[in-house]
Amino acid sequence: MTITQLQYVLAVAEYKNFTLAAEKSFVTQPTLSMQVQKLEDELDVQIFDRSKKPISITEVGQKIVAQAKNIVNEAERIKDIVDQEKGFIGGEFTLGIIPTIMPTLLPMFLKTFINKYPKVNLIIKEQNTDLLIRNIQDGHLDAGIAATPLEIEFIKERPLYYEPFVGYVPKTHRLAKQNQLKTSDLEIEDVLLLKDGHCFRDGVINLCNNSKNHADEHFQLQSGSFETLVNLSNEGLGMTLLPYLNTLDLDDTKKNNLKYFQKPSPAREVSLIYHKSELKIQITEALRDVISGIVRGAIAFQDVEIISPLNKK
């Protein structure tokens, strides 16, 4: 039995297809199939039922796959121990970032990080929170950046910064003459939202629900981008809420429509999240240090109230 054989078993278990598993493992299909068969012969059990399409895992195979995950993770940990002992920060590291954070945060830290840690091959993927969590659990992501708290048993959360919500209120809106906003000012029917699946949308709904008990189905206008929400607001279709970092690059005309909240400002907690096994923790910590140092200078707000992205309805 070898670590490589166990890795091939995990690939087949995930993709339910030997050809695809081989492709993802960067080996030929005959090589992968032969190694899986050798392991089955050694154990004298059938891990996969090849008679079904897609391939299924046998009952004993399920137990073997679960144990294989532990063994492969522990093998990876040995390399981590050696890297940490040598003070080496390098290798491949896959990072997922949710869509409402990636466009503003990535340009702020990426160049600094790759210059400071040139031996890290950073692979960045934009993924929504649900997919990001699944990929951390399955080992396809080493870490993610998302709005928290998520309260998931196998995930650790390390806060990076707290980003206030800012109102975008066009001149024709009922709140345009107010110097500052209060959460009690928000009426859920005239707040334009991101489309379903974005955690920032859930945070805004939770914020509104704290002050007004309106149903989600009253919202008819939904979009996938903050830019579209701003443009819809300018057409007189309502107001919207933006994360603070998204307001920094607005032109002066649009900035004149920004309304800040009375303190404590509603805000989202943005965290670096990763599996509790803490594989590649030295790179995770390096990322956290770089991002926290940069964003701290961009967000000066101190008095904030964290609005959870968790759906409380």
pLDDT single digits (tens) 165-185 = 999 999 989 998 989 998 888
Of 86 and 160, the structure prediction assigns the larger pLDDT to: 160
**What integer pLDDT is reported at residue 197 of this predicted model?**
54
CB 292 within 8 A of CB 190: no
Q: How far apart are CA 164 and CA 144, in angstroms?
A: 20
Paired with 306 in beta bridges are 267
Q: How far apart are CA 160 and CA 79, in angstroms?
A: 27
Residue 115 pLDDT > 50, yes or no? Answer: yes
Quote the mean pLDDT of the chain: 87
Question: Each residue of 229-238: pLDDT tens digit?
Answer: 898 888 888 8
Q: Which fold has domain 163-267?
A: D-Maltodextrin-Binding Protein; domain 2 (3.40.190)
Q: How far apart are CA 180 and CA 185, in angstroms?
A: 10
Residue 242 pLDDT > 60, yes or no? Answer: yes
Residue 300 pLDDT > 90, yes or no? Answer: no
Do the strands 155-168 and 258-261 form a parallel or antiparallel pair, or are they unpaired?
A: antiparallel
Lowest mean pLDDT among 29-38, 221-230, 272-281: 221-230
**What integer pLDDT is reported at residue 264 of this predicted model?**
87
Question: Each residue of 184-230: pLDDT tens digit?
Answer: 888 877 788 776 556 677 777 776 755 444 444 444 445 568 888 89
- Boundaries of every domain in the chain: 3-84, 89-161+270-299, 163-267
Same fold yes or no, 89-161+270-299 and 163-267: yes
**What integer pLDDT is reported at residue 312 of this predicted model?**
46
**What integer pLDDT is reported at residue 83 of this predicted model?**
80
**What integer pLDDT is reported at residue 214 of this predicted model?**
43
pTM of the full structure: 0.77
**What integer pLDDT is reported at residue 86 of this predicted model?**
82
**What integer pLDDT is reported at residue 54 of this predicted model?**
87
**What integer pLDDT is reported at residue 306 of this predicted model?**
78
62: left (phi over 0), alpha (psi -120 to 50) or beta: alpha
Proportion of the chain in helix, strand, coil states, percent, rounded to 5: 45, 20, 30
Q: How far apart are CA 213 and CA 90, in angstroms?
A: 50
Q: How far apart are CA 279 and CA 79, in angstroms?
A: 9
Backbone angles phi, psi at 228, to 5 degrees: -65, -40
**What integer pLDDT is reported at residue 132 of this predicted model?**
94
Please tell me the CATH code under which domain 89-161+270-299 is placed. Answer: 3.40.190.10
Residue 11 pLDDT > 60, yes or no? Answer: yes
3-state SS track over 223-247: ECCHHHHHHHHHCCCCEEEEEHHHH
**Sign of torsion over alpha carbons 23, 61, 4, 283:** positive
**What integer pLDDT is reported at residue 212 of this predicted model?**
45
Average pLDDT in the 260-272 region? 91
Q: How far apart are CA 71 and CA 162, in angstroms?
A: 37
Question: Each residue of 34-90: pLDDT tens digit?
Answer: 999 999 999 999 999 998 888 999 999 999 999 998 898 888 888 888 887 788 889
Residue 94 pLDDT > 60, yes or no? Answer: yes
**What integer pLDDT is reported at residue 160 of this predicted model?**
94
Q: What percent of the chain has pLDDT over 70?
A: 89
Q: Which fold has domain 3-84?
A: Arc Repressor Mutant, subunit A (1.10.10)
**What integer pLDDT is reported at residue 93 of this predicted model?**
94
**What integer pLDDT is reported at residue 213 of this predicted model?**
46
